Amino acid sequence: MPELPEVETIVRDVAHRLPGRVIVGVDVVHPDLLDDHPPVAFAAALIGATVRAVSRRAKNIVVEFDGLRLVINLGMTGRLLVLGDGDAAPSHPGVRFTLDDGRRLAYHDVRRFGRLALYTPEVWADRAAKLGIEPLDPGFTPGLLHELASSSRVTIKSWLMDQRRVVGIGNIYSSEALFRARIDPRRTAKSLTPSEASRLHTAVIEVLREAIEFRGTTLLDYRDPDGNPGGFAGRLLVYDRAGRACVRCGRPIHRIVQGGRSTYFCRRCQR
């Protein structure tokens, strides 16, 4: 899916366009996107509600209404599109929202791994509290990263992707951050020294910030709310570059499988 930079790009784009708008229509095309929530109740709760703010927590888009939170997780292929009069209908609509100014907000999802859920602010706060720390928050320090990692026997690659410790990092940015930190993805999380944890801390923050600056990575599916791809794919150093030359040493980038997911790294540069 969209990882933190892609979700952040979407949220920043809609955060100044949606507040003040009222939902006047809800069309649930694929009820499975709501889990077991009845589509009729979902629509009824949202119709007439005014968007007050849009924010991000981990890889979730949080649309804030008075006394209600619509939380959207994009899964692998989800898109949140803002459509005007002339815009074509999405090819894989999941849920369509009509706004009081005539625009439409469309949740589009080819694989339908995404989810839309409604919570009271209190229940959402409880769920959000169970997620790990935001890597771009000041509380995310080299010491905290080292401490959190020091008790885990899983590989550092898998550890980075676990949303219970540090949020927002997925399959692309975990490989990218480990390359930048020159750490072998096969190492266990607990094996990192304080100085390696510090390098990884810096690498995570830098790669996420740069990716946000370039509006995210589009390999195939990711689009911003206007339907445009992100610009960071060309700046990836290892992800999806198996067999190509490492930008640092020139040796070929390797692809391995960890936890059922592809990992890309340089055997020479990453120890």
Rule CB under 7 A: say whether 6 interacts with DNA.
yes
Inter-residue contact 239 to 149 (CB < 8 Å): no
What is the spatial distance between Cα 129 and Cα 116, in angstroms, rounded to a whole number? 19
Which CB atom, from 23 or from 204, has the smaller least distance to DNA? Answer: 204
Rule CB under 7 A: say whether 76 interacts with DNA.
yes
Question: Which residue in 191, 198, 202, 262 binds DNA (CB under 7 A)?
Answer: 262
Site for DNA in 30-69 (CB under 7 A): 32, 58-60
What is the spatial distance between Cα 239 and Cα 244, in angstroms, rounded to a whole number? 10
Rule CB under 7 A: say whether 9 interacts with DNA.
no
- Reading the block at residue 4, the tokens are 């933190």
Inter-residue contact 74 to 126 (CB < 8 Å): no
Burial class (CB in 10 A: 0-12, 13-18, 19+), 195: exposed
Site string for DNA, 188-227 (x = CB under 7 A): -----------------------------xxxxxx-----
What is the spatial distance between Cα 77 and Cα 61, in angstroms, rounded to a whole number? 14
206 labelled catalytic: no
Rule CB under 7 A: say whether 171 interacts with DNA.
yes
Name the catalytic one among 12, 52, 186, 261: 261
Vertex 81: Cα angle to 116 and 41 (nearest 5)? 30
261 labelled catalytic: yes
Which residues here bind DNA, judged by CB under 7 A?
A: 1-3, 6, 32, 58-60, 73, 75-77, 92, 110-113, 151-154, 158, 161, 163, 170-172, 217-222, 259-262
